[in-house]
A = this chain, B = another copy of it.
Amino acid sequence: MGGIDPDRCLPADPATRSIARGLLEQSSLRPLVCPHGHVDADVLADDAPFPDATELLVRPDHYVTRMLVSAGVPLEHLLTDDPRSVWATLCEHWDWFRATPTRLWWEHQLSEIFGVDPAPTPDTFDEIGERLVRPEFRPRALYDRFRIEVLATTDGAIDSLDAHARIATDPWPARVIPTFRPDDVVDPDRPEWPAAVERLGELTSCDVGTFGGFLDAVRARRAAFIAAGATATDHGHPTAATLDLDRDECERLYQRLLGDEHDDTDSEQFRAQMLTELAAMSVDDGLVMQLHPGSFRNHHTSTFEQWGRDRGVDIPTPTDYVRGLRPLLERFGMDPRLRLILFTLDESAYARELAPLAGVYPSLMLGPAWWFGDSPDGMHRFRELTTDTAGFRKTVGFVDDTRGFTSIPARHDLARRVDASFLARLVVEGRLGHDEASEVAIELADELPRRAYRLC
């Protein structure tokens, strides 16, 4: 049985690698701080065994399914056929994943978590299956084994937070906290928006028939999330546009949207205005804002209609942060009470827009390389393109952003390897002291996310 290279993703130059290895040894000792991700809280509330390797590793992972679809495999097969046959399909196409981050995450999971050969074969399905029924592979046992210190989930504004409540009242001493992601009530382009707004009103006993009442309802849900441990909000918008309309304009816009006589501009304006409203709320209640803009969601309509969201057909687009964020920043950008963490899928904005913005506005911080950027070379580019202007302290360290619970350690490990490599190069090039690099490696591993997300 093969293993994985202990020096994987460290730099080729021997002197640089040696320094990187030392930095990695130090950062590897730190626990995992996971302030942004998409693990379902029910997994930890129920603590039921994972059903099988396909349900755990293939079907929910759109990095995997999208690559297989691109290779000509029908999505229907992957989502509906027998788990064992889907696993066999994955194995047949394993070569397609060469040099992708998915491959690195899988190798880590297979080798380090399940103790099987890092290259999947049809037999691996059963080898993993044997392990999944054991108590030490149940979600809570893995949570403890992974040394997770805090895990934030992502939850809609009208989610019940029931799973979080169950975990909170349980003697198991983990910190699993929700994140307030109100896209369900903020994005009028979603077909379910009217129903979600109505449900918001019911949940909060607010009159959502007026914009003022709607804002009160949002505030009430934020308070409920804070009571459940939340320290942050998250916002997935098509663009980074913000607006600062006066109250009357807001009310008219909201009424148009409720009344179904609106167009795309109204929807975009509402989302833009809501970002500024949400920033105002953050100034009051202290929740850290996260903005994930720039994904063209559900690019292929018939795939969306048949299989729903998050099937790998979301494609990045150019994003204008400078003009987009300005109305919000004019009001709150220099206010130290606001914290707004920016992400991007448009790498051309790293050096041009994001580092210059975060390098002057005290309210802004930079989230790590996101989604398609979350690869060894992608994370390197993030550091190379932002550090000059924004330094390390305006970044928030790593967030794993994963749906795959067992991929969490692999993702943190990879990020720590990239950061160690980047820092080692700075040391060898005489741009940073070795002792300083050690400090930064540890800051990036857990101090920065803890501080950035107000977790301590």
Contacts and interface: CB of A to CB of B under 8 A. Distances in A.
Given A99-B426, A322-B316, A351-B347, A375 B360 contact: no
Interface in A415-444: 425-426, 428-432, 436, 439-440
Given A388-B101, A392-B98, A334 B303 contact: yes
Interface stretch (A10-18, A180-188, A270-278): A10-18
B429 A10 contact: yes
A378 B355 CA distance: 13
Residue of A15, A71, A317, A360 contacting most chain B CB atoms (<10 Å):
A360
A185 to B, nearest CB: 27
Contacts of A376: 388, 429, 431
Contacts of A355: 372
A317 B322 contact: yes
For this chain, the copies found in one complex come to 3
Interface stretch (A253-261, A325-333, A402-410): A325-333
Given A334-B300, A372-B351, A70 B359 contact: yes
A330 B316 contact: no
Q: How large is the interface on A (under 10, 10 to 19, 20 to 34, 35 or more residues)?
A: 35 or more
Contact of A356 (B8, B315, B326): B315
A141 to B, nearest CB: 29
Contact of A8 (B99, B300, B357, B429): B429
A240 to B, nearest CB: 13
A323 interface: yes
A390 interface: yes
A232 interface: no
A96 B393 contact: yes
A37 to B, nearest CB: 20
Contacts of A318: 318, 320, 348, 352
Contacts of A426: 99
A193 interface: no
Contact of A71 (B300, B330, B362, B430): B362
A120 interface: no
A269 interface: no
Contact of A312 (B360, B388, B390, B393): B360
Interface string A38-54: 00000000000000000
A66 interface: yes
A189 interface: no
A179 B117 CA distance: 46
Nearest to A329: B300
Contacts of A326: 299
A220 interface: no
A99 B431 contact: yes
A97 interface: yes
B333 A323 contact: no
A413 interface: no
A301 interface: yes
A72 B99 CA distance: 41
Contacts of A317: 320, 322-323, 352-353
A356 B316 CA distance: 8
A351 B294 CA distance: 13
Contacts of A5: 430
Contact of A323 (B10, B296, B392): B296
Given A70-B390, A316-B353, 15 more contacts: A12-B16, A69-B334, A70-B358, A70-B361, A95-B436, A98-B436, A99-B387, A300-B329, A302-B330, A317-B323, A346-B348, A348-B348, A376-B429, A377-B387, A378-B388
23 contacts: A67-B360, A70-B390, A71-B362, A95-B436, A98-B440, A99-B392, A99-B431, A100-B388, A299-B322, A315-B322, A315-B353, A315-B357, A315-B360, A317-B352, A318-B320, A345-B352, A346-B352, A347-B348, A348-B352, A356-B372, A375-B388, A377-B384, A377-B385
Interface of A: 4-5, 7-16, 66-67, 69-72, 95-101, 104, 296, 299-303, 312-318, 320, 322-323, 326, 329-330, 333-334, 336, 345-348, 351-353, 355-362, 364, 372-373, 375-378, 384-385, 387-394, 425-426, 428-432, 436, 439-440
